[in-house]
Structure formats: C-alpha cells, structure tokens
Amino acid sequence: EPEVTQTPSHQVTQMGQEVILRCVPISNHLYFYWYRQILGQKVEFLVSFYNNEISEKSEIFDDQFSVERPDGSNFTLKIRSTKLEDSAMYFCASRGTGATEAFFGQGTRLTVV
Amino acid sequence: GQNIDQPTEMTATEGAIVQINCTYQTSGFNGLFWYQQHAGEAPTFLSYNVLDGLEEKGRFSSFLSRSKGYSYLLLKELQMKDSASYLCAVRSPDSNYQLIWGAGTKLIIKP
C-alpha cells in the first residue's frame, strides 16, 4: 500500500540551527501539506503546496519556514533558525487530485534544545 | 472565530458502542473529517461528511448536522486497539485544504 514517508523520525537540534525535514509523498499525489503538533496540543496547519508553489500558509509559517520540492519525489520543510517553541511533531501529508482524504506520514519529532 | 469542541476523554468497554461528539463554530464549512491517532503516531483518516446524514463504514459511522454545527463518530463492537485519540477537523470553503482541528477525544477501552 502506498504511504507517505518522513525522515528522520526524530531530530534533536540546538536552538538557532537550521533543520530540514524530509517527506516523500505518495507518488501520484499533487497536493502536499505540512502540519505540526506540539506535545499534548492540537494538530496545526502550517502550509499547503501545489504546482510547485505555496497555495496556503498559516500564521505559524513565518519567514523562518520554507518548503521546497527539490525533485520529483521529495518535499521538504526547512526551519532556518530553530527556537525552543519549534519543538513538536511535524507531519507531512499528501492528497491525490479529486480526493478528499489526505494521507499522513509517521511524522518527525523535532526537539530543539 | 473558529472553534471545535470535543470531550477530552471517554472510557468504554470492549464490545460496547461509544459515540464521540463534535460541535463546531467556524466562519465557513466545506466538510468535516474524523481522524484516528494512536499515541506518537500520525493521524489516519476515518471518515468525511459534507452533507447531512449518516455515513457508515464497517464498525465506524459518522453523522453530520450542518444546521446544528454538530457531528458524531459512532464506534461499534469496540476492540482494545480502538484505544486512541479521535480528532474532529473542519475544512473551510475558502481553503484548499486548511483543516481546523479539534483537540481530540482520548478514548480508553477497558476489558
């Protein structure tokens, strides 16, 4: 069964460092998303991406964040200068054209120390 | 404002039926999702309602009333593996796929 894969599963980084979270969406999907979930809190939308550009972003997705689809398979989230409050589980999701259901990856747990 | 309310926690017995409610007050509406999330794992899709009524899918059913801003997820023949958080999420009509998420209901199944 096709699935969204994310790497790494857990990343520890020092405050102020840059991190790149990687995602491989399901191969024929065209809509990609990043969500985050701070421990014990709600899932929060960060950004959606379609046709090689951001289609929507939330207030959380400030200038410290960027997304990229560097090739035909990967979809990355970069946090330029991490803060302690960026510690969270980051989920990538993808959706096929005409579908309502998005498939989530297993997440990357980011810990900023 | 945007608000989605769910009970924080519920407990039910293996083999029984449980109903998890969700009420929403959002500036628009273009569908309601239910996701299941086991601790430390990704949300997995359970159901989607955009029209009023009941959608049945095996042991799980979801109901929507748009006029009341209300949905419920019904789980039948509960199994221990159903112990998880159940997340209600609403999609607004002016959004590509920005979901507004509830805080989730933690369901504990006891033998």
Residue B43 and residue A91: Cβ atoms within 8 Å?
yes
User: For residue A68, which amino acid is it?
Assistant: E
What span, in angstroms and rounded, lies between the C-alpha atoms of A28 and B14?
A: 39
What span, in angstroms and rounded, lies between the C-alpha atoms of A61 and B36?
A: 25
Reduced DSSP (H G I as helix, E B as strand, rest coil) percent helix, strand, coil of chain A, to 5: 5, 50, 45
| Among candidate residues B54, B96, B48, B51, the one with its CA nearest the CA of residue A31 | B96
Handedness of CA B72, B91, B69, A37 (dihedral sign): positive
pLDDT one-digit tens code per residue, B29-76: 889 999 999 988 889 999 999 999 999 989 999 999 999 999 999 999
Contacts of B98 in chain A (CB under 8 A): 45, 48, 56, 58
> What is the pLDDT, as a whole number, of residue A82?
97
pLDDT band for position B2 (cuts 50, 70, 90): confident
Contacts of B41 in chain A (CB under 8 A): 106-107
Is the CB of residue A65 less than 8 Å away from at least one CB of chain B?
Answer: no
Is the CB of residue A40 less than 8 Å away from at least one CB of chain B?
Answer: no
**Can you give the C-alpha Rg of chain B in angstroms?**
13
Cis peptide before B93 (omega within 30 of 0): no
pLDDT band for position B84 (cuts 50, 70, 90): very high
What span, in angstroms and rounded, lies between the C-alpha atoms of A51 and B37?
A: 29
> What is the pLDDT, as a whole number, of residue B94?
67
> What is the pLDDT, as a whole number, of residue B42?
87
Given a cut of 50, the residues of chain A with pLDDT beneath it are none
> What is the pLDDT, as a whole number, of residue A99?
85
> What is the pLDDT, as a whole number, of residue B96?
63
- Give, as one character, the DSSP assignment of residue B40: T
> What is the pLDDT, as a whole number, of residue B48?
93
Residue A101 and residue B48: Cβ atoms within 8 Å?
yes
> What is the pLDDT, as a whole number, of residue B40?
84
> What is the pLDDT, as a whole number, of residue B1?
66
